[in-house]
Structure 1
Amino acid sequence: MAGQLSEKAIRYLAQLDAARCDGRWNEVPELARKVEKHAPQRKCLAITARTEAQIAVQGPQRPVTALSDSSKTKSLLSPLLAPLQAAFEQSNVLSEDAFEATVCLAWIQWLLGEPQLAVAQLPDDFAVLLKELLEGDRTIGQSVRVCAIKGAYIKGHSLEKLRAVQSATSTYLSMLPYLSSFQSFKTTNSQFCLWTQCLLTRLCVISASPTVPVTGIDINTTLWLFSIWQTFWTTSTALRSISGYDPRKDLGYLWRDVWFAYYRTLSDILQRESPEILSEDEFLASRLRQRADLKNIEAINESFLLKETTFPKATERNEDVEAWADAVMRNWRVMCGPTWTDEELGAGGKGAVGRGVLDILYRAATKTYHSTQILRHLFTVHASLAEFDLAFKAFDSYVEIVTRGKDDAEKSGEADRALDDDDTVLKTSAEAIRILCRFGGRKEAEKAIEIGDRMEKWLKQHTPVVPTTRSSREDQEDRTEMAVSPKAISIAYRAIALSQAHWARVTYDAKARAGLQTQAVHCFTKSLDPKFEDPRNVETVYSLSLLLAETRDISGAIKLIKQALERRAVPIWHLLALLLTARSEYTTAGRACDAAFEQFRDPSNLYGAEESERYKSDHLNQLSATSMNEKAGHRRTTGIVDRMEAFERESLLQVKITQLSLIEAIDGSTAAVDSSDQLLALYARLFGDPSSAPLNLQPTASFLSPPKTARSLRDSILGRSSNSKRISLRPKSGIAGSTATGISRPSTMATHATAPAPTIQVIDEEGQNMQDEQKHSHHHVLHHKPHSERPVSRRSESVRLRRRRSQDLEKQEPRPATSNGVNEKAPLVEDPPPVPPIQSATHNAEDVEYHAISSDEERPATRNFPPIAHNLPLEKEPPPAGQHNQPPHQDVRLPAPFPTSPDTSDYAALEPKLPVLQERRHKVSLLVQVWLFIAGLYTRAAMYEDAKGAIDEAFKLVQGFEGEVSKQDPSVRGFSDRGWGGGKSVEGLWGDVWAEQGHLARARELPHEAMAYYEKALSRFPDHPAATVGLSEILLDIYCQKIPPEPADPASLLPSTFSTPDKDTASAQMPSNGDLAGNANSTQYHSTPREHHADGATGTSQSQIKPITPEELNRLAARDRAYSLLSSLTKLGCGWDYSEAWFALARAYEEGGQVEKAKEVLWWCVELEDTRPIRSWGAIGLGGGVL
């Protein structure tokens, strides 16, 4: 038929087809007239084209739902039906012209709001019809293809209006085979792209909708649909400025809804884990591509969301932004979780992903008003990046908003729907407590107890959704339990108990410790109540078992911990082993340690195939550089340890140390020394060589800068807590005439007689006013750490000694009654009346003057101990020796104190990614612990040179780490603060090294050399338990005259111990006891300690009172200083259950003539020793009781 057309007709037909396809509707009427003139047999086509132009140019541009009720629309469109229907019914109409007319008729009926008529007008199968039209020799215009896509879209949309979603989906899907035949859509016309995009938009939204069940679309088809849809969006510029009618306005969706559906589809693929088996390279490439696609769609989604949403009113919430934040967080949890690696995420790894999410959250915060959801997500992500200060600023803001909302809801009786629900609030607070207890120090523990108290208030608070009919406390709890899910209540009680148990470990208030432990046990037990649906929670069982062990309920702890034995719970097996050693069941404890490793079955599963045999060997002499470099340079088969977090690997190392301690207890120190190479080899496999990759650290600013994309937002979002403490950068007092020279560290040795002996002054290294910094007491001076490892042989000796003494005491008198369980309290160390301070002293006894007792007064032969010097407020401290007009002041040149910070089903939080320096701190601290443990083994095996070599290794590690810390923070705080996470501070590590050196010197019977090392340990870390006890025992030996106050050869006091001495070693000085001792050679030292303990109660004349000699002054100062050190230590969290300290304190009481007090302390020692494990409970690993 085409051959019967004239050249003009063919040309006009082509021009009309092009104008219709390109949307040039103003040209269509004239071209239709020419076609009707030169090709009258194509009259139906001309009428169809003219009708389309009228609809596109003059038709309404409003959504279908609005058109259906518009009389104007009906008056405009209804007259177009009759001419088109008449032309369609002519007998000589071509099939393609009839098809186009049918689609145009359905279009009009669709616009009139009559979907039933539109569906009845259109063919059943567009794919079959289009295939028939395209077959043969006839030339079919592009408009036929456009009408096929348009008709399929109109029919599918009409079926959706009729709620036949499955039929609509089938109609849309029928066009996919035709669309898949296109290699590229860049050459297609604008109308084809326009209607194709509309069809794909509906199909994409339906396929990605979680609420619309459809069949025939799998995840791969959905992903392909979105990919094609994105192609139309990015390549067709004609769609951006289309003229005439735009069907996209009738979609019923915003474009950002389609993009969000695309993002949701990619998220589903991310969270499902592909079942395909790929090679390693293919798997990595697919992960990188998946991450790039998700990041691209994420950016597009965010741009639409921020552009199209406005800031809500104070009474409203922006649900779209919050839903977007939730979706981003779900993907972040997957990509930053254990199933993805840094390599699979591209440049920056998980850290870059986390910071990108932070930027998104801060931008989302600009479109929300006090959104608890956004603040909760900020807390979570900041914590995962180890930005704990910023995390808890977000948490403080979150708590402030929630607390205010709960108070308002309680008054009004209506819950605020803009706030997080009660379950989420409790779980978020529980996560905050977990982070504070696991990674923080003492200040963080105090914050945790405050959060726990607030959670208790929330649990008892009235909930509007439950009618209030009863007023008792139990009824209030019942109402809460009805309003909050049982699982959330269980989590809340576990967190409350965790905060109380951890605070009991670090509090200065010794009287409150037992009460806190009792409350913690109660809350842990309540968390395991079956009515809360979590009676076998492993974390709760572990924490409660550890608390019971600390409170000496060994049988209860063993019975409970057996319920939690399961795979991947190495700390639980370790705790069971320590519990068994507390009952002297060493063989069974050894089997528990073995079970911690055997749960991984074949060692190749744990360590990797090529390395499994290495760690079972008893003799590994080629450890050092070769094997460690192999680990860095050779890609061996990975094992489970390569996927473990640092603290999980630490738990394996701690179990190995306990195994060696058991070997020492059973077979002796020599056997343990022979197995020590296993410990070093295990460390090398778990952590590598810390010195192999030196850090390139830059000095850090005092305050962390906010994200680049939200530099002005963070303060407004996070800095809203009105209750947070303001940390002043300016101390309250300063030293006048401050010079550029450093402040010398005060000596903790016995002072010269001109000082106010025996008061020992210990000040904070940072020059901070401890009265302002610490609320609970004045006696604490620096950060308190758990006790260091206690040597096994010393423990065994002390056990035997204590038990012999306890047996003797039991024969003499009945044991005093004590309360059972966790209410059992340690004896309180009371401060006896003070000894009058001595203003001055010389070598001659006649020149000794007393401040409160004159030479005419009676002086008893014995005297009570003085109060602890650093319990006094700073203003009441006596002036330093020789500086009566210069009382102590805070040095303003020292840094300000470390500032403290004013979910859902995805409750399990990600492990924080600690900074590089904190990771290095953890590794170095562990290796130092390993070397010092080995040094202790060598010392107890009388292999002193080997012990010295092990201490040398630890010394070098600490010295190197100190240099690395100084590059980033060369301040006093930088050396004394351990930061968030594992490991110890530099000062704490030095304290461990010097204390172990002191142990070695004592083993070699060099007490004065040991005394100097202990002094150095305390000058670095004033509350070091082992150094405190060691020094106190030597001081008591001096008082008892077992050893002279000074060595015979003072020049040999500090030999060159280390091959690489630091400046601290070179400048170490002995305490100047010479002036106090007087003529040491004139005194005969013997082992009868109480020659001066004459009864002073009888009346004596003034002529019988003998003046105090310098030798006696020195002995009394040594005894009183030992008491001061020990009484302070036993009140601290690191010493309240340290039996060596209590035993030494009992000796100090005995030497001071306070026998009854000594007996009370000794009974406490017996109780501690009866339930004491082979290593301290803190050896299980970091975490404050958190599994």
Structure 2
Amino acid sequence: MSLHKTPNPEKGARYLGLLDQALCAAHWSEVPELARKVEKHAPERKSFTLAARSQCQIANASHRPTSAASNATSSLHSLGELVPRLLESTTATSAKSYPDDAFVASICLAEIYWVQESPIDALKVLEGATPSGQSEKSAAAPLGWLEVCTVKAAYIRAVCLESTGRHSDARGCYQTAVIQTPGHRSAELRRWTERLLASACMYSVKKMPSPSAQDFSETYTAFKAWAAYWDRAGETNSAGTSNVDVPRRQVWKAYYDLLSTILQHGLLYNTPPQANDDLFVIAGPDYSREKYSASKRAQRKEIKEVERTYETLLIKETQFPKASQSNTEVEEWAEQVVTNWRAFSSGEWTDSDLEEGGKNAVSRIVLDILYRAATKTFHSTPILRHLFTIHTALGEFDLAMHAFNSYMEITDKGKAREEKTGKRSIGLDDDDEAVLTVAEAVRVLCRYGDREQAAKALETTEALQKWLDQKRPITADRMLKNGGDHDSGRPASQSSASALKSTSLAAAYRAMGISQAHWASLTFESSDRPGLLEQAASNLRRAQRYDEDSVETAYSLALVLARQRDVSGAIEVVRSVIESRDRPDIVREDAGSPSPHDRKRKLIPLWHLLALCLTADDEFEAAVQMCQAAFKQFGNPLVLFGQPMETMLRDPEKAIPSDSGARGLVDQMEGFEKEGILQIKMTEIALLELTEGPEAAVDMTDELLSVYSRLFGSPGLPTTSQKSEPAVPTTNSRLGGTLRSIAGSIRPRSSRSVRSEKGTSRRLSLASADNTTFLPPLPAASSNNNTQDLSSPIAITVTNGDNADTEKPRGRHAHHPHLPHLPFHGRKHGDASRSRTRDESLTVSDQDLISSNGNTTLPQSQTADMSNAQQHLGAIPHNEAHTNLPPPPGHDNQPPRQDVRLPAPHPASASTIPEPHLSPYYERRQNIGVLVKTWLFIAELYIRAETYDDAQSAVSNAARFAEALEAGLAGEDGGTSAMKLCLKGWGGGQSIDDLLADVWAAKAQLSLALSKPFAALSHYEQAVSLSPDHPVAIIGLSNLLLDIFEETLPAEEPMPSTRPLLIASNPLIREARPTLPRPTSSSSGPSRRPSLGGTPSFLDQKPRPVIEDDSEEATTTTGRRARPDPTPAELNRLAARDRAYMLLSNLTKLGTGWDDSEAWMAFARACELSGEVKRARQALWWVVELEEKRGVRGWEVVGAGGYTL
């Protein structure tokens, strides 16, 4: 007799709940026992218990080890035994009473078909399987497994549709699943939800038809649901994985790639999006600044979060590689992060668009990522390359060079190993990437480094040349393409240069030329300088052959040619690269660039160099036009400065940029670019002085200071962080210290009132010229030299030669500051006939600078509305209304329409490196250094205009800023030291000692103008003590020393007397003058002009001792007698002459003085007074050669970065 217990409904309900929890938690070991108890106490739920047991078998079959292939196969085939029973349960009578149980059984059956790779059968089952929906109304439903089955059904349906090729249905299924975001309450629900969302994300990426705003929006929705799911679920691990699961890390990587692609295409978040609108748009003209910044901040925040999540998974799941392996995924991740960093560091993003700390904080985050990535790589050259790039951008040049040195060492050894073994090394950058990295390092060393870094650059290019000459193994695909022999024992090889791209070769030879030219200006060996410049020109020409449109190569080559006095060659190089801007391919490339004005920005120094070259050929009117063309190429001044020129001139304080004000291209420029713009204005003023006189140039100083305030902002005085700044005595000048006083009351009332009306009208005419005139072309080359130029005249009126000569100021002392040209050169400053007979010409197109009515208009924004695929363009200019004319060719409508589908990212955006962001101290020192130069330039103008009070005020302002900068050094880390004062260090510009020496030299020039030679002598001595190789100070000091030797100036300052003591015929001076013989004519050499090449050969000759012999004093009738000892006065004069000779001899051998005609003129004088007449004649011929090809200003003012852009 057996006991049969009746079912207990309460126990059945409780065991049913426990079974549901076990299924949801994936506790498969508990399922069979709980299913038995449910069947005992709730026999009507047999469909559910059958599905539970079947689900347990499916889980066990799926978790079999992959090595036991036969067992796993048999387990999967054994699932087929469950199919008939499950089919019966879905049609049983209980299924009608409990439809959800039938749904669960159907999903279990569909899963079996799916596991057995029968997607069609699975879809048939799923077509009739639908939940009742009753238990879904409550979040605390008793059957949580039903929710899991709902998600599982959606996943299996989408995967099966995809595998059967029904992509449209699969796409709709995924979109429905993404919109109806599943839950995350249990382990199995999280597992199937993750699988569903991961598949939806990867499918949307794989099947995205084209990179359009609509497709981006659809794909982004899937990833947004993925991110939202993990925000709710946290980092809880899924219960298990199978061989069909998409790795979680792969999904996050795809998410990051999608956000990166959106960033590279310049799309913005549409916040908040309206109904049926795309999630991404391109900012249009009506896009407010607040909305623009909010969208950018949201974009940066999301990228940062995804970046952090993926990096955590990557670092956690990646093992350190063996020496023979490389972690490709880590290196690709670092490459993607740096690519995004370039976008964030571009001019399209501002500090306000990013998180706290701006671009500097973004760079620090990327730097941390790279160092963490380095812990998962072994000698990775890509990681080292990126470290060099980021450290350079942060202005941490020492750390950047450490990374580069490691990069060079690993790469050099790897290339040597490849050359020896014939096999490519694992983990090294390819040849093109390595060459471009070395070229960029050379650029950084030459542009921002000191003498030590210049030597390092030359050494680096020697290693680069060795790389180009090395033999490299040919890859398999290249061997097949070239028909290589695979049967040989040693792989075929070729030279590295032959395998490089043309752009890489151009960068390599450009780096060689720049390093050689840069070292030529710093070397102490004067005999090496001509050879270095020749090699530099040769390498730069080779670079230009490989990349004819490179602005960087053209600039470097033209500057080297100008230094070599090949002005016509320099003009031709500049002309060709400027004219190429109108070529269709260049126009298309600029239009596709993230910053369409990048090429125009690079052309600014070339316009300046062209202007100086034209002044060397006495074409001053054309030079003025080139200076103006540098700004007019941007069209409206709003593009460059962000505000009208009238605002900058009338209210300098409004010229200072602000976060809320309009921003122009100058707000995206680094210090060297800004200084280049300021130097162009100085050249423009120098040309105005040359053509209209110094008084006209003085009227332009207001505009010069206004431009400075717009470029660099309010200078302020450097303050120390540890102690207060010492008080600086103020002067009695009206200049003051603020920018309002700088531009508003720079001249005393007495001198200002005379020229105020004239100066105001000139400034207004120049400001209006920027808005209403276009750039006249240079005289075109023609067979008929009498052809008249019919272009519109410029706003500046150039006086004739006679008037220009009458306006020259008369000096008050023999040592009047030197005008732009030596007096014996014979130039006619007002002669325009020579300008019209040039053989070389430059035609400047003005169609892109003006509109049809003659007024410049702001160029249309590069962004457009992405709501549709087209946008309206502005009307095509005509002389008549467009309604009276036929439609333009190729356009049926007027205005025409433009396709605004997303272009591909500009290829240059992946290789350009943002300009370094210097440390606050070096940036402040650079800005104030430029301000000191500006004040000294203004002081020279006032000196030549004989307004000495204003000149004194300008020099005092320069001194005040320079001295305050010296005091500010004490507050920096490490304090002040003689080494820090005399070395400029990283960052370019001048050292503090050099700035102070410039100020003292300017004080000396002012003292000379005021007929105070002894004060000038003291000032020059102070300048030379600060900067021993200071050209201006050495030349001025040497001239005074030679005056002392010639007795036109006493050796010591005389006591105050009623009679003038500076006249050579003074009897007191005559009595104290010792008798010294003059050199005889027998020591003179041939009078023909010697042939001089680069540097005069007589520089290498040792000075001959002067043998002075006077027969009347040295001999008597009875025999030769000893000469008396020289007097102290004579010794002082001889010492003065010999010191001047020594200073000038050294200066003319240095890079700062070898092409300085004033230095050679003074040196010729010293040679003549030393009795070396032949050498003096050679020096004078050299002066003639230098003056024939000398610009109105020195070549060094073209670019503060030397030969680099």
The normalised TM-score by structure 1 is 0.73
Distance in 1 (alpha carbons) for counterparts of 2:159 and 2:16: 31
Distance in 2 (alpha carbons) for counterparts of 1:634 and 1:520: 43
Note the aligned Cα RMSD (angstroms). 3.7
State the 1:794 CA deviation: 4.8
Structure 1 pair 427/51, CA: closer, same or farther in 2 (3 Å)?
same
Deviation digits for residues 1114-1168 of structure 1 (CA, Å, limit 9, x no counterpart): 1111111001100111111111111111111111111111111111111111110
Distance in 2 (alpha carbons) for counterparts of 1:54 and 1:442: 77
Does structure 1 residue 83 correspond to structure 2 residue 85?
A: yes
Distance in 2 (alpha carbons) for counterparts of 1:238 and 1:1106: 102
1:319 to 314, 328, 332: 328
SS at match of 2:626: helix
Deviation digits for residues 947-1004 of structure 1 (CA, Å, limit 9, x no counterpart): 1111111111111111111221311122112122243211001100010111111122
1:967 to 954, 968, 971: 971
Does structure 1 residue 1166 correspond to structure 2 residue 1190?
A: no
1:671 to 691, 696, 700: 696
Unaligned 5+ segments in structure 1 are 471-475, 700-790, 805-902, 1053-1078
| Cα pair 2:110 2:126 within 8 Å, conserved | no
1:541 to 554, 577, 594: 554
- Mean Cα deviation higher: 306-315 or 211-220: 211-220
Give matches, 1:732-811, under 5 Å. Answer: 794-796=817-819, 799-801=822-824
2:339 alignment counterpart = 330
| Cα pair 2:676 2:1199 within 8 Å, conserved | yes
Distance in 2 (alpha carbons) for counterparts of 1:145 and 1:601: 64
One-letter amino acid of the structure 1 residue matched with residue 670 of structure 2: E
1:1009 to 1015, 1020, 1044: 1015
State the 1:343 CA deviation: 1.5
1:993 to 999, 1003, 1008: 999
1:493 alignment counterpart = 509
Does structure 1 residue 690 correspond to structure 2 residue 690?
A: no
Structure 1 pair 216/96, CA: closer, same or farther in 2 (3 Å)?
farther
Give matches, 1:296-695, under 5 Å. Answer: 296-465=305-474, 479-529=495-545, 532=546, 534-565=547-578, 567-568=600-601, 569-609=603-643, 611-615=644-648, 617=649, 627=653, 631=656, 635-691=660-716, 694=719
State the 1:632 CA deviation: 6.9
SS at match of 1:148: helix
One-letter amino acid of the structure 1 residue matched with residue 566 of structure 2: D
SS at match of 1:1131: coil
1:723 alignment counterpart = none
SS at match of 1:396: helix
State the 1:388 CA deviation: 0.6
Structure 1 pair 960/541, CA: closer, same or farther in 2 (3 Å)?
same
State the 1:487 CA deviation: 1.6
Distance in 1 (alpha carbons) for counterparts of 2:44 and 2:55: 19
1:772 alignment counterpart = none
1:1146 alignment counterpart = 1164
- Mean Cα deviation higher: 990-999 or 942-951: 942-951
2:155 alignment counterpart = 153
Distance in 1 (alpha carbons) for counterparts of 2:212 and 2:694: 72
1:226 to 204, 223, 230: 223
2:916 alignment counterpart = 912
1:867 alignment counterpart = none
Distance in 2 (alpha carbons) for counterparts of 1:445 and 1:234: 53
Does structure 1 residue 1134 correspond to structure 2 residue 1152?
A: yes
State the 1:941 CA deviation: 1.4
One-letter amino acid of the structure 2 residue matched with residue 257 of structure 1: Q
State the 1:107 CA deviation: 2.4
Structure 1 pair 1093/404, CA: closer, same or farther in 2 (3 Å)?
closer
Unaligned 5+ segments in structure 2 are 1-7, 268-280, 486-491, 582-599, 725-813, 828-906, 1059-1067, 1081-1105
1:921 alignment counterpart = 925
SS at match of 1:338: coil
Distance in 2 (alpha carbons) for counterparts of 1:573 and 1:1179: 13
Deviation digits for residues 606-663 of structure 1 (CA, Å, limit 9, x no counterpart): 3334x53134x5xx6x75xxx27x8377943333322332222211111110011001
Structure 1 pair 604/81, CA: closer, same or farther in 2 (3 Å)?
closer
State the 1:146 CA deviation: 2.2
Structure 1 pair 797/458, CA: closer, same or farther in 2 (3 Å)?
closer
Structure 1 pair 63/1131, CA: closer, same or farther in 2 (3 Å)?
farther
Structure 1 pair 239/636, CA: closer, same or farther in 2 (3 Å)?
closer
1:106 to 83, 107, 110: 110
Structure 1 pair 668/215, CA: closer, same or farther in 2 (3 Å)?
closer
Distance in 2 (alpha carbons) for counterparts of 1:102 and 1:412: 63
1:53 alignment counterpart = 56
Give matches, 1:1080-1091, under 5 Å. Answer: 1082-1084=1071-1073
Percent identity for Structure 1 against Structure 2: 40
Distance in 1 (alpha carbons) for counterparts of 2:106 and 2:1047: 117
1:143 alignment counterpart = 145
Distance in 2 (alpha carbons) for counterparts of 1:549 and 1:1002: 32
Deviation digits for residues 174-201 of structure 1 (CA, Å, limit 9, x no counterpart): 154355345x835x44432321111111
Give matches, 1:141-220, under 5 Å. Answer: 142-157=144-159, 167=166, 170-171=169-170, 173-174=172-173, 176-177=175-176, 180-181=179-180, 185=183, 188-208=185-205, 218-220=215-217
Distance in 2 (alpha carbons) for counterparts of 1:1051 and 1:792: 23
SS at match of 1:463: strand
Does structure 1 residue 1028 correspond to structure 2 residue 1027?
A: no
Structure 1 pair 486/985, CA: closer, same or farther in 2 (3 Å)?
same
1:121 alignment counterpart = 122
| Cα pair 1:63 1:250 within 8 Å, conserved | no
Distance in 2 (alpha carbons) for counterparts of 1:904 and 1:376: 17
Structure 1 pair 239/962, CA: closer, same or farther in 2 (3 Å)?
closer
Distance in 2 (alpha carbons) for counterparts of 1:593 and 1:381: 35
1:43 to 43, 46, 52: 46
Structure 1 pair 802/427, CA: closer, same or farther in 2 (3 Å)?
same
2:989 to 976, 983, 986: 983
State the 1:144 CA deviation: 3.7
One-letter amino acid of the structure 2 residue matched with residue 51 of structure 1: S
Distance in 2 (alpha carbons) for counterparts of 1:576 and 1:390: 37
| Cα pair 1:991 1:1020 within 8 Å, conserved | yes
One-letter amino acid of the structure 2 residue matched with residue 613 of structure 1: E
One-letter amino acid of the structure 1 residue matched with residue 614 of structure 2: L
Structure 1 pair 212/602, CA: closer, same or farther in 2 (3 Å)?
closer
State the 1:1014 CA deviation: 0.2
One-letter amino acid of the structure 2 residue matched with residue 612 of structure 1: M
SS at match of 2:714: coil
Give matches, 1:249-288, under 5 Å. Answer: 249-274=242-267, 275-277=281-283, 278-288=287-297
State the 1:946 CA deviation: 1.4
| Cα pair 2:64 2:72 within 8 Å, conserved | no
| Cα pair 1:1001 1:1010 within 8 Å, conserved | yes
One-letter amino acid of the structure 2 residue matched with residue 1043 of structure 1: L
The normalised TM-score by structure 2 is 0.72
| Cα pair 1:976 1:988 within 8 Å, conserved | yes
Structure 1 pair 360/152, CA: closer, same or farther in 2 (3 Å)?
same
Deviation digits for residues 833-858 of structure 1 (CA, Å, limit 9, x no counterpart): xxxxxxxxxxxxxxxxxxxxxxxxxx
State the 1:492 CA deviation: 0.9
One-letter amino acid of the structure 1 residue matched with residue 190 of structure 2: C
State the 1:1095 CA deviation: 4.1
SS at match of 1:174: helix
One-letter amino acid of the structure 2 residue matched with residue 324 of structure 1: W
Distance in 1 (alpha carbons) for counterparts of 2:264 and 2:659: 33
Structure 1 pair 442/239, CA: closer, same or farther in 2 (3 Å)?
closer
